[in-house]
Structure 1
Amino acid sequence: MKYRAIGKSGLKVSEIGLGSWLTYGSVTAEETAKACIDKAYELGINFFDTSNSYEGAEEVLGRALKAYRRSTYVLATKVFFPQGRGPNERGLSRKHIMEQCEASLKRLNTDYIDLYQCHRFDDTTPIEETLRALDDLTAQGKILYAGVSEWSAEQIKSAAAIGKQLNLRPLISNQPIYNLFERYIEKEGVIQQCEEAGLGQVVFSPLAQGVLTGKYKPGQGIPQNSRAANNQTNGVINSYLREDVLACTAKLEALASELGASLSQFSLAWVLRQPNVSSAINGSSRPSQLEENIKALDLVLTDDVLQRTEEILSEVSGFAPMR
């Protein structure tokens, strides 16, 4: 395994992380989830990401990680989305952040959270209030670092400036969607702004919800037992199931084959070519997927390969930010 620091912080995470969105606590049995977590730990993966909004995932992760010494892994979770019907049971107010941090600590069965992330931007709460709440949680030792997810370049710039003005501990991370098709963080200046502010990217969906594994073929039906065949998860993946995207994927798979790599390995290596990316979060539902994916760390993409990749990707357009 290889490790990178998140932004300008001293926190080092595995270049491949393990996430739990749309998997653990919902569509994947806990026994299988534990097997994946155990395999990840065995392979040297130390970055485990979840959220209070992922149904049951925090509890599953907490039970599985209890087997390991707490100092050997980095545990990340999030706050923002509704946890009830009340007006204060959502967003990034001090009240919601403080209450949900306590709730996540209980669900995760831990004394502290390594990385606590604002799952989205809250335009109904002053940034100062949000940043002060995160800083207070850090002072209390309940979280060690704070970050954001899917914030725009301007929102990150504003938060960095306000935090500096108030002498608060800086944010260290942004968690955006990033893969060969979803590249808004390049085009909208998010990476550049994060570099200036000292944040690193811990990206999710680097394999485009499984499309960049090559399992979905142009002109063919949806494979059984795939994420696209599951009514609980197919709403996210359907945007990729276009003939032009799948045709492009087939060409990328052929290019990867020339390098002696699978499409998933190629896709992860492409994401990790970006120095500002600290970790690519995988949502593996089988231990064997993790064993396959970490081989991406040894794959070097030359300038010629990257240029050929751009030529293939130019055939597809139309993807928008998740915000």
Structure 2
Amino acid sequence: AETERGLSRKHIIEGLRDSLSRLQLEYVDIVFANRTDINSPMEEVVRAMTFVINHGMAMYWGTSRWSAMEIMEAYSVARQFNLIPPVCEQAEYHYYHRDKVEVQLPELYHKIGVGVMTWSPLAGGLISGKYNDGIPEDSRAAMKGYVWMKDRIFSEEGQKQLAKIKELHPLADRMNCTLAQLAI
């Protein structure tokens, strides 16, 4: 059913209840709304997140993979209806994906106080150097459901990124650290 996925009120509340049960927790510190949902009005999402906070299921809520405009809309809806706004955006951030965190979101940090949490600091392992000489058998990119990752690595852009990583190896060696440590 349409309400069993995405960001419908039903799915947010029931999904979080089920997660708390599986985790054997009474609440989580923060619950994220991953990607916006064209089938759920923003007011419904913000009201559902306010509900789970007011009912002690979460302390805060945040967004993940939302645009600055979508975050601002959630904030505006929260202010308009006296609801709880998101406190942070969870954004991809690494050598090859810096624009959102460094250019698009800073204005929101200052205007409405929304923070940022980042994910994929090693670009799915690309920055670790493990794919420099191909796809290791025991890597995620070699797994059945990760053909998209293998395709990304072998794409023209992926090969350019790998070439840049190889150039960083001497710097990591000079600093006596791994590529992953250098990246983070």
TM-score, normalised relative to structure 2:
0.89
Instruction: Go from structure 1 to structure 2 and tell me whether the alpha carbon gap of 1:177 and 1:240 turns closer, same or farther (over 3 Å shift).
Output: farther
Give structure 2 stretches of 5+ with no counterpart.
Answer: none
Q: 1:254 aligns with which of 170, 177, 182?
A: 170
Q: Partners in 1 of 2:71 and 2:109 — Cα distance? A: 7
Q: CA RMSD in A?
A: 1.8
Instruction: Go from structure 1 to structure 2 and tell me whether the alpha carbon gap of 1:204 and 1:243 turns closer, same or farther (over 3 Å shift).
Output: same
Q: Residue by residue, what CA displacement relative to the aligned partner does 1:81-138 show, whole Å, maximum 9, x if unpaired?
A: xxxxx12111212111111111111111111111111011012222111111111111
Q: How does 1:306-321 map to 2 (within 5 A)?
A: none
Query: What amino acid does structure 2 have at the position aligned with 1:264?
Result: A
Query: What amino acid does structure 2 have at the position aligned with 1:213?
Result: S
Instruction: Go from structure 1 to structure 2 and tell me whether the alpha carbon gap of 1:195 and 1:259 turns closer, same or farther (over 3 Å shift).
Output: farther
User: Which structure has greater helix proportion?
Assistant: 2
Q: Partners in 2 of 1:124 and 1:194 — Cα distance? A: 28
Report how far residue 187 of structure 1 moved.
6.5
4+ residue runs over 3 A deviation: none
> Larger RCO: Structure 1 or Structure 2 (Cα < 8 Å, ≥ 6 residues apart)?
1
Q: 1:134 aligns with which of 44, 49, 57?
A: 49
Aligned-residue identity in percent: 35
Aligned residues: 181
Q: Residue by residue, what CA displacement relative to the aligned partner does 1:290-310 show, whole Å, maximum 9, x if unpaired?
A: xxxxxxxxxxxxxxxxxxxxx
Q: Partners in 2 of 1:198 and 1:139 — Cα distance? A: 21
Give structure 1 stretches of 5+ with no counterpart.
Answer: 1-85, 269-323
Q: Residue by residue, what CA displacement relative to the aligned partner does 1:8-31 show, whole Å, maximum 9, x if unpaired?
A: xxxxxxxxxxxxxxxxxxxxxxxx
Query: What amino acid does structure 2 have at the position aligned with 1:254?
Result: P
Q: How does 1:85-234 map to 2 (within 5 A)?
A: 86-186=1-101, 189-217=104-132, 220-234=133-147
Specify the alignment match of 2:183 in structure 1. 267
Q: Partners in 2 of 1:195 and 1:233 — Cα distance? A: 38
Kindly indicate whether the alpha-carbon contact (under 8 Å) linking 1:148 and 1:174 is maintained by their aligned counterparts in 2: yes
Q: Partners in 1 of 2:151 and 2:124 — Cα distance? A: 9
TM-score, normalised relative to structure 1:
0.53
Q: Residue by residue, what CA displacement relative to the aligned partner does 1:256-308 show, whole Å, maximum 9, x if unpaired?
A: 2222221101111xxxxxxxxxxxxxxxxxxxxxxxxxxxxxxxxxxxxxxxx
